[in-house]
Structure formats: C-alpha cells, structure tokens
Structure 1
Amino acid sequence: MNDVFLERLAKLTSKYPKVIDLSLARVKKLLNKLDNPHLKIPPIIHVAGTNGKGSTIAFLFNSLKCAGQKVHVYTSPHLIEVTERIILANKKISYNKLFQALDYCEKVNNGEHITQFELLTCIAFFLMSKTKADVTLLETGLGGRLDATNIIKNPILTIITSISLDHSDFLGNKLHSIAKEKAGIIKKGIPCISAPQEIEVKKVLIDKCKEKQAKLIISDQKSFISYEKNGFKINKSNIEDHLFPWPSLEGPHQVINAALAITALITVPELRVNLKDMNQGIVSTYWPGRLEKISKSIVKRYSLTTEDIWLDGGHNIAGAQAIKNWIIHKKIKKIILVCGFLKNKDAEDILFILKDYIKYIIFVPIDNKNSYTVEELSIMSKNLDISYYMSNSVKEAITSSLISKSSKVLIFGSLYLIGAILKLTNN
C-alpha cells in the first residue's frame, strides 16, 4: 500500500470518526443520492448474531466458490487492512477501487454527517451494484434492527448465529433485548435459520418470525448435530444421513457454524451447491484469527521457543466459553494466555471462565485508548488467584523466557490484539 493510500485512510478515520450511532437515516439519504445501489445487488443472505457471523459467512463463501458461484461479501471489522471487508465476485477489493469509490461517495455525500461504518457500507453496496455476481453475503456490524446493512429490502435468507451478551452499552444488558435487536433483520416471508439459542432468545426469534410470517429453522443444542468418529451429521434435515467432514476451523463451535452454513445452502436450492461442494468448502475454509495456529515459518523468523502458539479474537463471555470447550475437547492440560482487553468487555468474568485451564497469564497492552492497562488487568488476576506477568508488547511476550518449548500459548481477548500480531507476522 503506497503513501497515497495511507493518507486517504488517515483522512477517512479523522473525517468520519469510528463511532457507533445506530440509525438508518444517514445511510438511506446517501444511498438515495447514489441511486439506491443496495436494491441492485445480487441476491442477499443477511447474517446477524453475537459470535460466529464471520466464520459462518466464510463457510458459505468457500462452499459457494466450490460450486462455481461468484460471490460478493461484506464483513467487519478488518484485522489488518480495510480492504478485507469487501470481496467483489470472489476477489478482495483493491485499494485503487476502494478509494475511487470513496472519492465518489464522499463527493455525493457533500459533507453530510455519516459514520465510518455507514460510509463503508454505502461504498460496498455501490461497488457490488457495479460488479456481476450470483449471491451476496452481508454481515451486520452491530445489532441488526438499526444496523446500516439492514437498509436492504428483500434478502433470500436471514441467518442468526449464536446470541449472547456483548455490546451492552448499545444493545442493552439483557439477552432478551439483544435478541430483539438481532432479530430486526428478519423480513416478511423470508426464511430465517438460527443456531441453537438460549430459551429466551429462541422465544424472541419465534415471536418475530410469527410476526413477519417467516419460516424459522432452529434446533436445540443437543439435537442439532450428531457427532461421529470421522465427521458430523445434521439432524432433522433432508440430508441427515450424510456424513460431513470436520471443518478446517478449530473448535467445537465451528462445527455448529459449519452446520449452520450447510443448512442455509440446502434451504435455498437455487444456490445450486451440492453435497460435494459443501464437503470441499468446509474443509478448506480459512478465517484469520479464529483459533488459528501460527505457522512454522513465523516461529522460525522470530526465533520463537514454541511452535504451539494460537490466535483467537474472542472477546466476550461466549468467546471464552468456546475456548474452554476447545481446551476440554482437545484434552489440553494448561495454556499460557497472552491477552489484553478493551474496557467495554467483561474481562474479569472472561478470565474466571478460563482460570482452571490457565498456567499463567501474560498481560499485554492494546493500542487503543479504550483498553485496560496491564496494571488494571493484573488486579483482576490477583482477585481470581491466577498467576500473571506483564509485558510491553505481544512480540516481547511470545519471545520471552516465560515460554518454553513445550508451552501451548493462546493470544486472546481482542481483535485489535489479533490484528497486531497478524500484521507482525505478515511483515
């Protein structure tokens, strides 16, 4: 990326602050000036939820590609570069195309107030409307009802991934209120597929689908999937005898995300994805920073003591529970946790879930003004009686003498943190 692009990114960040101000009014106004490109993009699958949105979209994207489909994708946030957010007909957008669209959309917006996410969403719709594809995969940024992506009218399917407590400052601190916001993407007469949910969440989804006369496909946690020796089966479906291979993404929660994607594909037969395409798609999916193991080449480059270093962008209670389940599933004895958290996260509660599986923690700072200091986190660790150390950076932590050849290390707690380590390894 050259200096011109760096300057444009800096302008984007300063002129359109990264703030959350949930409303559809500004997006509607700009899209209207752009001749409503969101009404001219290929058929849409709209995805909301707390955890698993990105992974579910990644499984969908890969399976559709295996079936020979051209796919648009819009996700957030990005880990390293803003171009990660937009895929046009299976190809990540170039900086040149992104900033050409930014220049045009800024000109059309004519100085009207708009948030960074809203502007990027409008840019994505504008570019997608100009590029031929077969299907569009659209991820909400926050919530659903008032999320900028919910300006769309008639998706072919909506998907609700696992819902749990997160972003309570915007969505409320009750599961019921969060579920109502997420369910806001459900449209009249359009089928909705949901991951297994808590009882109160399930009730919200049932009520919303009744109101919208939308078919709801949802299973209980225990009855959704049958786990076999060499793979899994999806129960109560028209393919329940088919054995799917284990997905390429690590963790029991990713089996649920893969099954959710598969259920979506068989619910919309016009997508023309067969079982062979789905098999191939879920075993070759890559989604960075989700229980991702650092490559041996990176270990060698930075002379790391252990090869067993994992990255996970989990940053809430459900994310911690997913890590705990992975540790139990893999029969891991103890991990060294390298972590940092933003202040809007329940850091102490997250650490409490993992405390029995932690050898010790190395706290690291996050380059964000809204993050906990390592000193603040160390107090939480003392309260929980977890051994800890403090480090000046992730690089210092993973290259320190605290980590031995036999150590299993997990870098966890924030997508900002994972982005920083991926940027380090990419460099």
Structure 2
Amino acid sequence: MTDTSRSDALLQRMMDFHPKIIDLTLDRVVRMLAALDHPERRLPPVIHVAGTNGKGSTQAMIRAGLEAQGKRVHAYTSPHLAWFHERIRLAGALISEDALSALLDECIAANGQDPITFFEITTCAALLAFSRVPAEYTLLEVGLGGRLDATNVVDRPALTIITPVSIDHQQYLGETLAEIAGEKAGILKRGVPCVVGPQAEAGLAVIEARAARLGAPLLVHGQHWHVTTERGRLIYQDETGLLDLPLPNLPGPHQLQNAGAALAALRHLGADEAACEAAVTRAEWPARMQRLTRGPLPDSAPGVELWLDGGHNPAGGEAVAATLAGMAPRATHAICGMLNTKDISGYLRPLAPQLASLHAVSIPGEQNTLPAEVTAAAATAAGIPAHVAPSVAAALRDIAQTDPRARVLICGSLYLAGTILRENG
C-alpha cells in the first residue's frame, strides 16, 4: 500500500465529530447527503446486502460473477482489515490514496461542526465516490442491522439480500432473533425483490411479514432456490433450471449457502452460467478461513499450517468448527483474541471439540479488547486447554516448539485479523 498518512489523519479527525462509535439513526446521514447534493440518488443500480453472517462473502461472490461478465462494479464493505481503502472499491479497483483524501476533505467541509459518526460520514464519502464514477452496479454491505444503518438511504435498489440472521450486537439490535431479523428486514423496499438466505423459523417469519406489507417479492432458500453438494460439485436449482458448478473456492461448508444466495442474486440479474461459475471460483474475501503461506509470520514457523479467520459470534464459531471438521486430520491449536462486546462462550463452545489447545492474546491497540486472561478462562470453561501469550508471534513460537507440524488458527476478531494482515505484509 502507498503512504496513507494523509487519509489516516483525515479519518482520525472524523472520529471526533461524534463521541459514540455506534449511534443508529438516519437523521445525520440524511442531513449530510443533502449537503452533498444527494449522491445516493445518482448511483448505478444498487444491490443492498444485510445479515449477521456471510454478507461479505456473498457480496464478494456477486462481484466476481458480475465482473466476469465485464461489468464495472462499485463495492462498499466494512470494517476494513488492513487499510481503510478496502472499504471503497470503485469500478473494480480499491480507491486511491489521493482520491480518498480529496473525498474526505470534501465531506469534512460539507459537514462543518455537526455531530456525525465515523461510519456515517465515511459511508457518505463512499456514496459520493460511487455517484461520480461510471459503473453498472453498486454493492452496498450493511454495517450494522439494516433499518437504521447509514447504508439504508437508497429508496429504490435493484435488489436486496438478507444472509443468515443470528444473535449478535444485542445491545443495538434487540435480544431475540425476531427483533434482530426485524432490523435486518428494514432494508426491504416496496416492490423490490429480496434474496433470502437460510433462516431460523422465527427470523424468516418476520422477514416474510414485512415483505408482504411492502409487496416485496422474496426469493427464499428452500422455497424458490436450493443449493447442495453432490459428488464434490455444487448443485444449484431454481425455477430457471439447474446449475452444476465447482465447489466455492472460499473454504468452509458455510460458503455453500453464501454461494446459493449469490447465485440467486446473479440469476435474478440475468447472469449466464459462466458468470455463475466465476462467482464461486474467483471470489476473494480475506480473513475468512484464509490460508497464510507467505510473510514473516508463516516464515517463523515453516512446518506449521497457518489459517486466519475473523468470525466472532456463535454462528461464526460454528462455521469455523465445521470447516475444521472437514479438513485432513491434524492437531489444531487456536490463537484467539476477542472484543469485550462479544459472546466468547458462545463462540468457543462449537470450536472446543476441534481444538487441541488455545493461546489467548489481547488485541493490540484495541481499546475494547477482552483481556487475554479472560479469554483463557473462557476457553478453560469450554474444555479447551488454555494458555496466555503476550502476542500472536509468541503464541505461534510456543505452539511450533511443541508441535512443529501443527495446524494453527488465528481467530476471534476482524480487528485481530486486520492487525495480522498489516504486520504480515
């Protein structure tokens, strides 16, 4: 990455506009977009993606499919891992440092001294960028929830998508699955089709009820489209017909349902079979069971098989556990750091049968990190032999000395994953 000092300084200034990191409302975003002359009304057709798990992977597959057809695609995702620029992809390329800095300057000037959260003003900056660069599609990933998320300002998207909904961010979205699903279903728009991934019954009922009120046609997993594996292939079927495709290149059995949602979206948009195959074979989405093979960290333990995953809630733990269960047998040791806002017991419980040990770390530079000692205690309570380590590098050295052929999974947080990707180059 080029020198990002200028955009870093501007992004730091934006942190000071509003004391709360998360404060869900659309009022400040609507004001800001009006000050920018409503870029949200001048976007290429929007595909809006909400859900608890799988949003980023599903969006990455849709982008791969559309780009294989020669389409120019804008994409907005969050959070970033190594650099903020990852959040804004303009017609296929990450936004440049010069373009980002100029955009942030413009948004700071338009905002004045009014309160606005970091996510809100940077979302406005992304929409402004998308409104100025020609493209065929705009992919918007919800930051948190849906109904009051800063991305939920497009009156008439081309398509909405709701990936699996599970319990997460209860302090903002509600304590029950039905309440959380209600927030995610807030992206539904009158008359706009919505692709719905696999859902628990309580969540699906809420989504279907809102869709009925809005006259929004649904394309629901298990009703309108089906996805399964057969003889090492992905089999997708909807009313258009059957697709026989390679398995997703993104690892883990949970990627099958993400692929299904992406394929349902692409088929609705008129994509051909070649585009659908590209969606499942060419998608790139870092820190989701990503194998690390180059850089200082894997070089320090050459015999170790090193993996990185940013999942951080119980459904994320289940997905990683299922992925590990499908791998060739090998002793697996975790290096885990989590935020203090997450359900660590719920995350570790499904992983426990797959892990030989866990080294707990605090996330460097992260104010809301769970202390390593607390993570270790939670691992012990889940039945995982646990140790405290001062850093990921120290934990990796310790594991490699004990088991030079180990499989090591660095996990528990996207913030930890971002630190690893930055430091590992």
Q: From 30, 33, 39, give the equivalent of 2:32.
A: 30
Is the CA contact (8 Å cut-off) linking 2:50 and 2:162 kept in structure 1?
A: yes
Aligned-partner Cα distance in 2 for 1:174–1:39: 34
Is the CA contact (8 Å cut-off) linking 1:194 and 1:260 kept in structure 2?
A: yes
1:403, distance to aligned residue in structure 2 (A): 5.0
**1:190 paired residue number:** 192
Residue 404 of structure 1 pairs with residue 406 of structure 2 = no
Structure-2 change in CA distance of 1:287 and 1:2 (3 Å): closer
**Structure 2 counterparts to residues 85-234 of structure 1, below 5 A:** 85-220=87-222, 224-234=226-236
1:219, distance to aligned residue in structure 2 (A): 2.1
Q: From 289, 292, 305, give the equivalent of 1:291.
A: 289
AA partner of residue 231 (structure 1)? R
Structure-2 change in CA distance of 1:332 and 1:175 (3 Å): farther
Aligned-partner Cα distance in 2 for 1:66–1:14: 41
Q: From 73, 76, 79, give the equivalent of 1:74.
A: 76
SS at match of 1:362: strand
Residue 424 of structure 1 pairs with residue 423 of structure 2 = yes
1:5, distance to aligned residue in structure 2 (A): 3.5
Aligned-partner Cα distance in 1 for 2:195–2:281: 22
Aligned-partner Cα distance in 1 for 2:386–2:34: 54
Aligned-partner Cα distance in 2 for 1:157–1:94: 28
Aligned-partner Cα distance in 2 for 1:255–1:192: 19
Aligned-partner Cα distance in 1 for 2:329–2:239: 34
Structure-2 change in CA distance of 1:106 and 1:280 (3 Å): same
CA RMSD of superposed structures (Å) = 1.8
1:249, distance to aligned residue in structure 2 (A): 0.3
| 1:140-189, Cα deviation, whole Å (9 max, x unpaired) | 10000000110110001000001000000100110000000000000000
Is the CA contact (8 Å cut-off) linking 1:41 and 1:128 kept in structure 2?
A: yes
| 1:322-352, Cα deviation, whole Å (9 max, x unpaired) | 0121122225454101101111111022212
Is the CA contact (8 Å cut-off) linking 1:183 and 1:208 kept in structure 2?
A: yes
AA partner of residue 394 (structure 1)? V
Aligned-partner Cα distance in 1 for 2:4–2:320: 38
Aligned-partner Cα distance in 1 for 2:272–2:383: 51
AA partner of residue 362 (structure 1)? H
1:281, distance to aligned residue in structure 2 (A): 3.1
1:36, distance to aligned residue in structure 2 (A): 0.6
- How many residue pairs get aligned? The number is 421
Aligned-partner Cα distance in 2 for 1:95–1:105: 15
Is the CA contact (8 Å cut-off) linking 1:30 and 1:122 kept in structure 2?
A: yes
Q: Out of 49-58 and 378-387, give the one that drifted further.
A: 378-387
AA partner of residue 261 (structure 2)? L
Residue 383 of structure 1 pairs with residue 381 of structure 2 = yes
**2:251 paired residue number:** 250
Structure-2 change in CA distance of 1:3 and 1:210 (3 Å): closer
Aligned-partner Cα distance in 2 for 1:284–1:309: 22
Output the TM-score relative to the length of structure 2: 0.95
AA partner of residue 19 (structure 1)? I
**1:277 paired residue number:** 275
1:256, distance to aligned residue in structure 2 (A): 1.2
Is the CA contact (8 Å cut-off) linking 2:330 and 2:407 kept in structure 1?
A: no
Output the TM-score relative to the length of structure 1: 0.94
Aligned-partner Cα distance in 1 for 2:54–2:276: 18
Structure-2 change in CA distance of 1:421 and 1:18 (3 Å): farther
Aligned-partner Cα distance in 1 for 2:269–2:410: 38
Q: Identity over the aligned pairs, expressed in percent?
A: 37
**Structure 2 counterparts to residues 49-60 of structure 1, below 5 A:** 49-60=51-62
Is the CA contact (8 Å cut-off) linking 1:306 and 1:408 kept in structure 2?
A: no
AA partner of residue 319 (structure 1)? G
Q: Which runs of 5+ in 1 are unaligned?
A: none
Aligned-partner Cα distance in 2 for 1:51–1:2: 30
Residue 350 of structure 1 pairs with residue 347 of structure 2 = yes
Q: Which runs of 5+ in 2 are unaligned?
A: none
Aligned-partner Cα distance in 2 for 1:283–1:290: 15
Aligned-partner Cα distance in 1 for 2:140–2:20: 20
